[in-house]
Structure 1
Amino acid sequence: MSNPTYVDEYNAIVEVLNKYNEGGAKANSAIMKPAFNEKATIFGIEDGKLAGGPIQGLFDTIDSAFKPSPNAKAAIVRVDIVGTAASARVDTDNISGYRFTDFFNLLKVDGQWTVVSKIYHTHPSA
């Protein structure tokens, strides 16, 4: 097959998202870093205000403030793909005691899917 199918593209995106999920669960940004484009950004609301910027902020937080979470769970809720653009939603539970909903925008660059932006919602602690 010369043209990838939706299933091929979906599986390639899931592989990228799984790097993110594994890195979060293990509190190791080196695992998740390959999922992101070097120009990627991250934004969310912290204390009622917009917070974020370059993706390096995520990596720094994972490495300094998070702890490995052997009971972490993740669900890839949806993946939408159109040509070389895609978006995905991932819900995670018990990532260093937190619960998140993340929205990722991905582009297929040089034949590889990469996250170019992430926005997130931190759910209140139970």
Structure 2
Amino acid sequence: MSNPTYVQDYNAIVDVLNQYNEGGKQAKSSIMRPAFSEQATIFGVDADNALVGGPIQGLFDTIDTVFRPSPEARAAIARIDIVGTAASARVDTDDISGFRFTDFFNLLKVAGRWTVVSKIYHTHTRA
């Protein structure tokens, strides 16, 4: 088939998100880095309710220095929405270096390849 179908695009996005999930689980940014555009950004809100984030390199630095391998980590892709060359996705992750996150990704299909261009996240409080 010369024209990708929704199923092909969906599966390609799942592959990209799985790179992110596996990199977090293994605490290795080198595994997740290919999922992101070099121009990607990451933003969230810290414990003081302040906006934090910036270039995606901040995520990679945190993964490599703060996170530890978490074989018990579990991730669920809660949704993927695709329209043409744009997509968004939600991923919920439990037990990743002792944290629980909900991540929202924006992706674009650039030169036939899906890439994350932005990530925002929510860190769940511990009970």
Specify the TM-score bucket, using the shorter chain as the normaliser: over 0.9
User: Equivalents in 2 of 1:6, 1:91: separation in Å?
Assistant: 23
Look up the equivalent residue of 1:78 and give its one-letter code: R
1:19 — aligned with what?
19
By how many angstroms is 1:36 displaced? 0.2
User: Equivalents in 1 of 2:65, 2:2: separation in Å?
Assistant: 44
Query: Per-residue displacement from partner, 1:102-123 (whole Å, max 9, x unpaired)?
Result: 0000000010000000000000
Identical positions, percent:
77
User: Equivalents in 2 of 1:97, 1:118: separation in Å?
Assistant: 20
By how many angstroms is 1:75 displaced? 0.2
By how many angstroms is 1:2 displaced? 1.2
User: Equivalents in 1 of 2:94, 2:75: separation in Å?
Assistant: 6
User: Equivalents in 2 of 1:28, 1:94: separation in Å?
Assistant: 16
Look up the equivalent residue of 1:107 and give its one-letter code: L
By how many angstroms is 1:125 displaced? 1.1
Is 1:33–2:24 an aligned residue pair? no
Superposed, 1:1-126 pairs within 5 Å as 1-46=1-46, 47-126=48-127
Gaps of 5+ in 1: none
Question: How large is the Cα RMSD of the aligned pairs?
Answer: 0.4
TM superposition score normalised by structure 1: 0.99
Look up the equivalent residue of 2:66 and give its one-letter code: A
User: Equivalents in 2 of 1:72, 1:80: separation in Å?
Assistant: 24
TM superposition score normalised by structure 2: 0.98
